[in-house]
Each structure stands twice: as structure tokens, then as C-alpha cells.
């Protein structure tokens, strides 16, 4: 059994420390009120037994809480008082400098919490450590004077989660849709260097990757680009190749028909498209941003974003090449093709590609093959999105969706002063999300003790807490000058504001959004009704909870002219934090707090048996009530020999749900060369570890594991809560 120290370091459990701490408190007590030594031993033994039932590494704080409770239960009130006093005095000493030990444990590469905090960051490399060190300072500032005490206390207790506190000290937003079209067509500036409109597809791809890296270094969340912004450069290259072929043939004295010239030029063009797509794929994976990881970028594929004709045909060529290269994968250090984490890819299903006789159905089949092998692309249904939002546009990063454009029709005009503004078209690219605060629905339920009246009262109190926290995020951005991130605010990624101009106008009128996240609907419903939310009574209550979140956002939006939106939080590491806090506050409640994770957003519990089609149909009702972002998934086995089943699921997505994905396994053992599913087992310390079923390798540094974490693929492994959740997922097909 292991214990997590306050620094985040994980060390072997030392039972003697528990008994010694009680002995010290006992010795500080008047002799008449002391407890016997055998009683101290009994108390320590009970605490050790409690720790062993948790089946994860407990924290020092949790152990101290257990000791206090046991002393109180023995009516050893004076000893308990002295124990609490000593604990408080030590806390004051630590509070004088809250960051040193965590930073030192980062540098020593033994901070277990940080190691598993982000499944796409390698915490052992200098650039990531530098980002984490800065993050610790930012969190310390946020804790001590940037947030009110009640909001920080609620965050620490897992009542809410104030996301990305490690970046809050700086005026940075969360995620965005990059206005790549404006930057490519009208030029931009990167690191003080003027970049003109590219004169070829290959150059456009290269510039796009530089823009992606710059954007990633000036925000903390995900970004999305669309291939439709690159499509116009295909014909520019085509014409360039035609001229070059004609000139070369003329110089060689060879007469070629226009048809033959075009044929040779098209061959060269295809090669350039292949190279350009490869540039995007490899640059994104190999670039290192200032936050110590590859850019978290999504690539959107939607044929109808461009007019029918030559440009749409060219876009189809780019999409085809992107799918082929992603299906191939990238080489690891052993030279073996594996599944990369990024870029995330979204393929839009529509009438021109969903049916067997559709013009672009060949792309849909290719997408299905790619999903079966590499877990991407994910799928947006144009049909359902038009019904729900009135438009079709991608999410920012993994799932955060903008609200539908409401400022263009309202006559606000070109708020961002974009170079590609069109008054007759709704605007999505160049917009962003201000940030997220997540409410723990399970905590509300458990705190109500199944009293429905108290539940709704507590719900409103917690929502008020979230509202104040979200407004603090908003106010932190207010007054930000465009100079803090020129690539975003001055050179087209978001806007083309003047130097020194403040970004304030882009925080209102729906230009940007701000997200009320939520987690644990499944466990919340289970506690309050005794039913899964897939049962009639549970579903009814669950939908009421979702509607209540939406009603709150609607009111806040009316009060502030800020677009608040309900967001199904990904909760990569927060799921573990919330679970630990719930266990500390309420103990182990079967079906509610008995796991080291809580269920993301509205999802059906990962252990619940349900087939893929029914799962997507059921969750579509809840996804509609997460307009600020959500994604549904189905867990499937190896589908490479059953692509028809993947296509059947894709057609079901098209007719049923706006945004969904398929999860499969794609692993590689570097020791024995095994390709398949690397398993999760429990070691002697009750810690979950990864093990090759072929050779028994358990060294994470000698295996490549890719799993869908929270809508995106993770490859750097996960904390114990998320690992347990991955282990317990049942197949839906």
C-alpha cells in the first residue's frame, strides 16, 4: 500500500507514522485525560484497515481525517484536540510557502499526481516541467488572492472544479476555432515576421502548422482548424504545376496536348497534397509548444463548407489523403506504425456521403476503416446538428461547442475586424471559449441525504457559486490588451484589433462562450432515485437536472449578455479528484462513491450493459441538453475485419445524435512486438498497472498505449481513477 504526500510524491505506506503521531498528541495531553497505549495501537490498526479498503493510494490528509474520527469515536476529545492543533500548526508553517515542495518533487520526477495529470504530457522532460513549475506558482497565486476563499475551498473539497488554475494568473482563454482562412488569404504575422498569402498548397500547410503552434502557446485548451480553409490552395498549385509542365515540355521540344499536360500536372499535384498533409500530421505531432506538449488540435472535415464544384472536389482529395495517412499511423522509436494522439479528426456525415449511392460515400467507407484501426475520425451528424443548432460547425478541441451565431443578425457587424468577414454569413471561425467551472452533481445529491427539497435548494446554492466563479474568469479577461497575444488578437487567429486595443467587446454578445461544466449525472441520479438514469424514473429525474443547468445559463445570459452554456466536462483527472473527495466526505456508497472515478457528464456508467445503438439513442436526449459541448461514445472490439458494422453505427449516428465516436484498442509492446490490447492489472499495492499479455512487460516506457480518454486520445497514461474507469468499460458491440 502506498500513500500520497502533500508534495504529490507517492511513497510506501508506513504504519508506524500513524501510531507515532497519536503518541505525540497523547503525550501533550494531561495525564488524567490520556489514552492507554494498547488503545493507541487499536486506533492505528483501525485506520490502517480503513486505508486498505480504499483500494488506491490514500493521501496524508485522508489518513489524518481518519485518525481524528477514530479519536473522537473513542471520546478521547483532549487527545483529538491536541492532534488537530498540531496538524493546524503544521499547516500554517506549510502555508508560508505552498509551492517549494511540489516544485522540488516535479524536478525530482517523483510527483505521482503530476505524472498522471495529463495523458498527453510527458512530465519528465524539461519543457513540461517548466510549464508545471509555472503552473504551481499560478495555482498558489490563485489560491491565496485571485479567488475568494469560499470558491477555493469548494474547489479543494471537490464541490466544484475551477479548471486550469495553473494558467489563471495570466489573461488567457480556453479554446477556439482558428480563423485560418483570414490568416492564409490575407496574411498574418508570426514572431514579428510578415507572412503573405501562400502561393501553393504545400506552403499553406506549412504556414498552418506554424499558426497552430503559435495559437497553442497563447491559450491553454484545444483549437480547431478546418480543411476547407486549405482547399482553395489546391487549385493554385494545380495551375502552377500546369504552367511548369508546359514550360518544361516546351524547353525540351516535346509537344504535349493540354489533356496530357493536365494529367502530368495532376500527378504532381497529388504528390504535393500528400506531402502537405504529411507536413500537417508530422508537424503537429513533433512540435512542442510552450506548455510542454504537442498542440491539442482538431482537424474538421466537412465537404459542404465549400461550394460544389472544383473546390469541393479538391477538399475531397485532401480529406481522402488525411484519412489514408492517419490510418497508416506514425512510427514510434522502434520504427513501428502506431496510433498518434493528435491531430484529432472530425468527419461530418451528410446526405452527400452517408448513403451507398452518395457521391462521396467512398470517403465515408475510408473513414470507417480509419476508425476501426486508429479510433479516429469522430463523427458529427449534419442532420442532427442543423436540427439542434441551425448550423454545422466543429467543436473547439475535443467537445466545447460555440453557441449559434447571434451577433451577425443583430447588426453587431464585424466585431473582430476580421479580413474575411461576410455580412451575409454566420461566423464561427475566430470565436473562442472564456473558460470552464464544473459542478459536482454527485456531491449535491449526497449532501441532500435524498431529501428532494434540499437537493434543489443545494443545487441553486452551488450554481450561484459556479456563477460567481465563472464571472471571475470573465472579469480576468476584461481589460486585456491585444498586445498580450498578437497572433490571436491582432493578426487574425481570433481578431485583427489595433495595438493596445482591449478585447472586451469580444467577451459579450455571443461572440465567445463561457461554460458551466457538470459531472456525475449517473451517480447523482442513482443516489436520488435508486435507479440508473436509463430506467424511466431515473431518466425523468436526470433530464430535470439537465434542464435546471440550462435554465441557470439562460438566466445568467439574460442578466449579463454573456453566452453561458452547459458543458459536459471531459474530466480527465478531475474524475479522480471528485471521487476521492466524495469518499472523504460521504464514505463508500454502493453504486455512487464506490469507484475511484465518477462518470463523465451524462454518460451511461461504463459498467452498465447496453448495446451501441441503444446507447447512442438514449444519450442523444441528454446530449441535446449539453449545448456547450458533449460527445457520446461506444466501446467496441477490434473492428478491422468488420467495417460494415462501423458503417452501420455511422449511419445510426447520422440519424440519431449530433456528435459521437467509437473506442477501440490500439497498443504495441516494444519488448516483444505484441500488437493488440495491453491489459490493466492490480499489483500487490492495489495499484493499477499496464501489462503486456504476451511477455508480461509492465514498463510503461517500453509500450505504446492509446486510449480514448475524454473525447480525445491519450498516450502518456492516466491517473488511478481514470485507469480504473478504462479497465471497467464494457463493450457495447
Determine which one of 132, 167, 527, 567 is catalytic.
Answer: 567
Determine which one of 7, 26, 174, 200 is catalytic.
Answer: 174
| Sequence-ordered strand ranges (E) for 74-222 | 160-162, 175-177, 188-190, 193-195
Give the span between the Cα atoms of 494 and 182, in whole angstroms.
10
User: 567 an active-site residue?
Assistant: yes
The grid cell for 102 is 511540489
Give the span between the Cα atoms of 230 and 234, in whole angstroms.
7
Determine which one of 1, 51, 66, 175 is catalytic.
Answer: 175
Q: What is the DSSP letter of 508?
A: S
Give the span between the Cα atoms of 647 and 365, in whole angstroms.
7
Give the span between the Cα atoms of 596 and 62, in whole angstroms.
14
Helices (H), 122-200: 126-141, 149-156, 180-186
431 burial level (CB within 10 Å; 0-12, 13-18, 19+): buried
User: 291 an active-site residue?
Assistant: no
Select from 485, 560, 477 the least CA-distant residue to 168. Answer: 477
Give the span between the Cα atoms of 64 and 47, in whole angstroms.
9
User: 532 an active-site residue?
Assistant: no
Determine which one of 711, 719, 721, 725 is catalytic.
Answer: 711
The grid cell for 269 is 499535384
Determine which one of 385, 396, 650, 692 is catalytic.
Answer: 396
User: 174 an active-site residue?
Assistant: yes
Determine which one of 138, 200, 237, 400 is catalytic.
Answer: 400
Determine which one of 291, 353, 433, 550 is catalytic.
Answer: 433
**Residue 493 near residue 190, CB atoms below 8 Å:** no
**Distance (Å) of CA 516 to CA 239, 381, 670:** 49, 24, 42
Select from 673, 674, 691, 675 the least CA-distant residue to 727. Answer: 691
Determine which one of 572, 619, 635, 725 is catalytic.
Answer: 572
Give the span between the Cα atoms of 66 and 50, in whole angstroms.
8
Strand 330-331 relative to strand 337-338: parallel, antiparallel, unpaired? antiparallel
Residues 6+ apart with CB under 8 A from 473: 168, 434, 435, 437, 514
225 burial level (CB within 10 Å; 0-12, 13-18, 19+): buried
Sign of CA dihedral 415, 417, 419, 422: positive
User: 398 an active-site residue?
Assistant: yes
User: 433 an active-site residue?
Assistant: yes
Determine which one of 398, 528, 639, 710 is catalytic.
Answer: 398
Give the span between the Cα atoms of 179 and 526, in whole angstroms.
43
Give the span between the Cα atoms of 278 and 205, in whole angstroms.
9
Residues 6+ apart with CB under 8 A from 252: none
Q: Where in the sequence numbering do the catalytic residues fall?
A: 174-175, 396, 398, 400, 433, 567, 572, 711
Amino acid at each position: 500500500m502506498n500513500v500520497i504526500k502533500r508534495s504529490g510524491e507517492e511513497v510506501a505506506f508506513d504504519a508506524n507514522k500513524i501510531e507515532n503521531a497519536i503518541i505525540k498528541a497523547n503525550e501533550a495531553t494531561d495525564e488524567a485525560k490520556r489514552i492507554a497505549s494498547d488503545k493507541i495501537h487499536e486506533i492505528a490498526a483501525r485506520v490502517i484497515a480503513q486505508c486498505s479498503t480504499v483500494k488506491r493510494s490514500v493521501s496524508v490528509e485522508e489518513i489524518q481525517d481518519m485518525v481524528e474520527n477514530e479519536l473522537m469515536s473513542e471520546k478521547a476529545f483532549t487527545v483529538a484536540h491536541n492532534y488537530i492543533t498540531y496538524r493546524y500548526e503544521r499547516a500554517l508553517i506549510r502555508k508560508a510557502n505552498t509551492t517549494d515542495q511540489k516544485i522540488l518533487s516535479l524536478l525530482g520526477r517523483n510527483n505521482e499526481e503530476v505524472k498522471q495529470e495529463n495523458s498527453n504530457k510527458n512530465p519528465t522532460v524539461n519543457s513540461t516541467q517548466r510549464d508545471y513549475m509555472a503552473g504551481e506558482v499560478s495555482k498558489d497565486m490563485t489560491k491565496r488572492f485571485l479567488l475568494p476563499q469560499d470558491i477555493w475551498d469548494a474547489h479543494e473539497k471537490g464541490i466544484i472544479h475551477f479548471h486550469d488554475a495553473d494558467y489563471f494568473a495570466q489573461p488567457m482563454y480556453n479554446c477556439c476555432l482558428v480563423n485560418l482562412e483570414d490568416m492564409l488569404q490575407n496574411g498574418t504575422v508570426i514572431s514579428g515576421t510578415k507572412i503573405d498569402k501562400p502561393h501553393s498548397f504545400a506552403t499553406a500547410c506549412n504556414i498552418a502548422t506554424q499558426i497552430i503552434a503559435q495559437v497553442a502557446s497563447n491559450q491553454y485548451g484545444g483549437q480547431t482548424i478546418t480543411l476547407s480553409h486549405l482547399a482553395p490552395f489546391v487549385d493554385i498549385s494545380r495551375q502552377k504545376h500546369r504552367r511548369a509542365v508546359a514550360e518544361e515540355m516546351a524547353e525540351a521540344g516535346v509537344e504535349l496536348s493540354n489533356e496530357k499536360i493536365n494529367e502530368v500536372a495532376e500527378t504532381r499535384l497529388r504528390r504535393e497534397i500528400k506531402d502537405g498533409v504529411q507536413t500537417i500530421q508530422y508537424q503537429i505531432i513533433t512540435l512542442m509548444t510552450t506548455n510542454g506538449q504537442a498542440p491539442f488540435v482538431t482537424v474538421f472535415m466537412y465537404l459542404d463548407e465549400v461550394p460544389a464544384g472544383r473546390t469541393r472536389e479538391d477538399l475531397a482529395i485532401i480529406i481522402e489523403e488525411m484519412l489514408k495517412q492517419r490510418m497508416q499511423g506514425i512510427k514510434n522509436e522502434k520504427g513501428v506504425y502506431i496510433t498518434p494522439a493528435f491531430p484529432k479528426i472530425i468527419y461530418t456525415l451528410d446526405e452527400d456521403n452517408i448513403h451507398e449511392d452518395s457521391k462521396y460515400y467512398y470517403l465515408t467507407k475510408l473513414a470507417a476503416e480509419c476508425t476501426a484501426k486508429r479510433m479516429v475520425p469522430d463523427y458529427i451528424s449534419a442532420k442532427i446538428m442543423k436540427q439542434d443548432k441551425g448550423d454545422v460547425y466543429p467543436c473547439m478541441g475535443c467537445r466545447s461547442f460555440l453557441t449559434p451565431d447571434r451577433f451577425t443578425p443583430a447588426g453587431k457587424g464585424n466585431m473582430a475586424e476580421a479580413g474575411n468577414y461576410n455580412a451575409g454569413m454566420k461566423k464561427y471561425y475566430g470565436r473562442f471559449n472564456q473558460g470552464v467551472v464544473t459542478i459536482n452533481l454527485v456531491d449535491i445529491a449526497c449532501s441532500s441525504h435524498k431529501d428532494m427539497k434540499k437537493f434543489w435548494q443545494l443545487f441553486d446554492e452551488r450554481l450561484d457559486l459556479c456563477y460567481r466563479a465563472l464571472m471571475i474568469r470573465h472579469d480576468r479577461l476584461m481589460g486585456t490588451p491585444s498586445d498580450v497575444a498578437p497572433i490571436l488578437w491582432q493578426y487574425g487567429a481570433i481578431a485583427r484589433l489595433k495595438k493596445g486595443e482591449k478585447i472586451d467587446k469580444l467577451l459579450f454578445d455571443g461572440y465567445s462562450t463561457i461554460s458551466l461544466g457538470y459531472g456525475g449525472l449517473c451517480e447523482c441520479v442513482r443516489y436520488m432515485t435508486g435507479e440508473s438514469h436509463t430506467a424511466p424514473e431515473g431518466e425523468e429525474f436526470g433530464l430535470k437536472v439537465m434542464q435546471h443547468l440550462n435554465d441557470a445559463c439562460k438566466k445568467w445570459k439574460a442578466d449579463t449578455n454573456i453566452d453561458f452554456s452547459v458543458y459536459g466536462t471531459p474530466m480527465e483527472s478531475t474524475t479522480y479528484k471528485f471521487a476521492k473527495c466524495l469518499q472523504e466526505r460521504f464514505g463508500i456508497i454502493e453504486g455512487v462513491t464506490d469507484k475511484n472515478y465518477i462518470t463523465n457528464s451524462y454518460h451511461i456508467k461504463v459498467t452498465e450493459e447496453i448495446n451501441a445503438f441503444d446507447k447512442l439513442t438514449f444519450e442523444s436526449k441528454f446530449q441535446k441538453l449539453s449545448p456547450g459541448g458533449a460527445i457520446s461514445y461506444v466501446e467496441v472490439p477490434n473492428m478491422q475485419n468488420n467495417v460494415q458494422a462501423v458503417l452501420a453505427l455511422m449511419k445510426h449516428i447520422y440519424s440519431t445524435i449530433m456528435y459521437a465516436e467509437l473506442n477501440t484498442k490500439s497498443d504495441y509492446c516494444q519488448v516483444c512486438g505484441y500488437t493488440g490490447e495491453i491489459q490493466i492489472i492490480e499489483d500487490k499495492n492495489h495499484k493499477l498497472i499496464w501489462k503486456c499479455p504476451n511477455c508480461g512487460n509492465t514498463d510503461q516506457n517500453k509500450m505504446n498505449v492509446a486510449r480514448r480518454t475524454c473525447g480525445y486520445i491519450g498516450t502518456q497514461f492516466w491517473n488511478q481513477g481514470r485507469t480504473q474507469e478504462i479497465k471497467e468499460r464494457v463493450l457495447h458491440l
